[in-house]
Amino acid sequence: MRGLWKENIIHGLKVLWGICNLFGLVVVIEDMIRFQTTPELYPIGSENFGWAYACSEHYVLAGWIALGWCLVAVVAALFYRTRYRGKILLTHFILTVLKICYFWSTVG
């Protein structure tokens, strides 16, 4: 059985991950609104930035995927009494880190 301080640290990390993804959710929504109002600021049609910038439909789809990705973590963090919430958040965190590492390895 874990100690009380260890439980509090784990709970704090779960809450922190939920807050980080809530911030990501706000950023994605704000970016999607900005893209709808001023699409000329985005390098749509450029091949050097990946599939999301190939056309405006791809950019909108990538925005919806990012929105869903952040929403999964926020919902999992909100339902703190569910059975597999810790495993869902840990899997989400690991997949996010792998996605970021893959992005940085392909950019560099």
Closest by CA to 69, choosing from 38, 33, 100, is 100
Name the DSSP letter for residue 2. Answer: -
**Strand boundaries in 2-71, DSSP class E:** none
Average pLDDT over all residues of the chain: 84
The string of pLDDT tens digits covering residues 17-66 is 889 999 999 999 999 999 999 988 888 887 677 778 888 898 999 999 99
Q: Are 26 and 74 in contact (CB under 8 A)?
A: no
SS3 helix, strand, coil % of the chain, rounded to 5? 80, 0, 20
Average pLDDT, integer, range 78-100 = 80
- Name the DSSP letter for residue 38: -
* C-alpha span between 62 and 68 (Å, rounded): 10
